[in-house]
Amino acid sequence: MEYEPVIGLEIHAQLLTQSKIFCACSTLFGGEPNTLTCPVCTGLPGTLPVLNRTVVEYTLRAALATHCRIASLSQFARKNYFYPDLPKGYQISQYELPLATDGHVIIQSEGEQKRIGLIRIHMEEDAGKLVHDLSSERGSHSYVDFNRTGVPLIEIVSAPEISSPEEASTYLRKLRAILMFLDICDGNMEEGSFRCDANISLRPKGVRTLGVKAELKNMNSFRNVQRALDFEIRRQTALLDQGEKVTQETRLWDAAKGITSSMRGKEEAHDYRYFPDPDLVPLVIDPRWVEEIRSRLPELPESKKERFLREYGIPEYDAEVLTTSKPLAKYYEACLHDYPKPKIVSNWIMSELLRELKKDEREIEECPVPAGHLAELLTLIEDGTISGKIAKSVFEEMYRSGKRAEEIIQATGWVQVSDATALEKIVAEVLAANGKEVDAYRKGKEKLFGFFVGQVMKATHGKANPQMANEILKKKLGK
């Protein structure tokens, strides 16, 4: 039997506000434990939450950028559960009346555009963090750090319209790019400011009804999301093929072992006893404010891509890749500013630059070659100082050392030999040393031409200007 996966994703994105969602404490990451707290975010009796206006504004930005419907009236609700990192015994979230619903994100899947629906976007507060110390002599200790308590999050829930692990990854990248273009989230998956849970079920191909789903947690990178979904598809397929049933449960991804394992079943699922938070009045949004925010939205990945196609005439694939992140798009345009040949610049970024970054698992922001330096290198190819082939080695050295092209070329003597007299001498030497081949060539074995070019390149350690070498060879060989 052939099955089709049905995947939905739940994203928690931390908003880049300076202060927490219901108090004035700082949201800084990495502070001394419990220094960024106050009676409100530690849930002391008698305190009252006050909603941070910027949190609402950032959420509206996300909602508008993903074509959501904005609720003129929404409400905060208490999600009740007990856990040591949750001082109030409940989390303030939104439940029945979220701020935004019915949006969508467009992704490229197998060369086609696909629309992934968003069910809702709502605001909530983050919980604290438990630190487990297993080294202590008296057995294991756990500590609690409330610095993260009350840091603002948005939860973005997609419709179950994602059909493969690859699509899930593409959707995540697109959504992350949108939030980063909006300057409302730093997108850092390792530090947990962009987290993803997934639910996945299988159904026989062509069938409309949904199968029983498993919920997956603990995936902290794009690669792990894809790996966990791949594993789940294999696990559920094996169960269904054996005539067994998939159980509805929450499963944890173990990246080291490459498997998911059951965390809790349906019967152990929490009953959160949601109810409207009596400390917070319903949130009424002025439509004029929404329009003002809409008018100030920055250029988003889709429109940037359209503009790159229109202004620079590069292929759609290039435009798609270059607009996957705001810093990458910025790098491209900065390079174009100094070397205005769109396709050449895009080729260099997409092949050489992104390859080096991928090898080091670095982001473009950490690239040791500034855009201006890449432009300088391209100019040196253009004016004939170095060949395109040598330029690749120069680029690798620039990436490794952070030095500029000019400096590397001087130090290594990689300057292209474009001196006609010098080249003529080398060509003469090559022909003299290969008399047999010269005879054969002159008798009609023309494919030997490539051999002579190769010999000239070898003699000059790849530095001969290829066009000049070709011309001189043709002249000397009498063709």
**Would strands 152-158 and 112-125 be described as parallel, antiparallel, or unpaired?**
antiparallel
Question: Judged by CB, which is closer to Zn ion: 40, or 119?
Answer: 40
C-alpha neighbours within 13 Å on the C-beta side of residue 407: 7
CB of 342 to Zn ion, least distance (A): 49
Cβ within 8 Å of residue 120, ≥6 positions away: 98, 100, 101, 155, 156, 157
CB of 194 to Zn ion, least distance (A): 23
Number of residues located near Zn ion, criterion CB under 5 A: 5
Write out the binding residues for Zn ion, residues 445-474 only, by CB under 5 A: none
Q: Name the residue among 23, 8, 63, 404 with its Cα closest to residue 196.
A: 8
Question: Judged by CB, which is closer to Zn ion: 16, or 64?
Answer: 16
Please tell me the distance from the alpha carbon of residue 305 to that of residue 172, in angstroms, as a whole number.
18
Write out the binding residues for Zn ion, residues 401-420 only, by CB under 5 A: none
Question: Judged by CB, which is closer to Zn ion: 19, or 347?
Answer: 19
Question: Judged by CB, which is closer to Zn ion: 88, or 120?
Answer: 88
Binding mask 351-390 for Zn ion (x = CB under 5 A): ----------------------------------------
Q: Interior CA angle at 267 toward 262 and 268, to 5°?
A: 60
41 binds Zn ion (CB under 5 A): yes
Question: Judged by CB, which is closer to Zn ion: 27, or 226?
Answer: 27
Q: Would you put residue 249 in left (φ > 0), alpha (ψ -120 to 50) or beta? A: beta
Neighbours of 27 (CB within 10 A): 21
**Tokens at 314, concatenated:** 């590069």
CB of 19 to Zn ion, least distance (A): 8
Question: Judged by CB, which is closer to Zn ion: 24, or 422?
Answer: 24
Binding mask 75-104 for Zn ion (x = CB under 5 A): ------------------------------
- Residue from 19, 38, 43, 299 touching Zn ion (CB under 5 A): that is 38
**Would strands 141-145 and 129-133 be described as parallel, antiparallel, or unpaired?**
antiparallel
Write out the binding residues for Zn ion, residues 12-31 only, by CB under 5 A: 23, 25
Question: Judged by CB, which is closer to Zn ion: 41, or 390?
Answer: 41
Question: Judged by CB, which is closer to Zn ion: 25, or 214?
Answer: 25
Please tell me the distance from the alpha carbon of residue 323 to that of residue 347, in angstroms, as a whole number.
14
CB of 397 to Zn ion, least distance (A): 50
CB of 267 to Zn ion, least distance (A): 36
255 binds Zn ion (CB under 5 A): no
51 binds Zn ion (CB under 5 A): no
Could you tell me if 344 and 378 are in contact, meaning their C-beta atoms sit under 8 angstroms apart? yes
> Contact positions toward Zn ion, by CB under 5 A?
23, 25, 38, 40-41
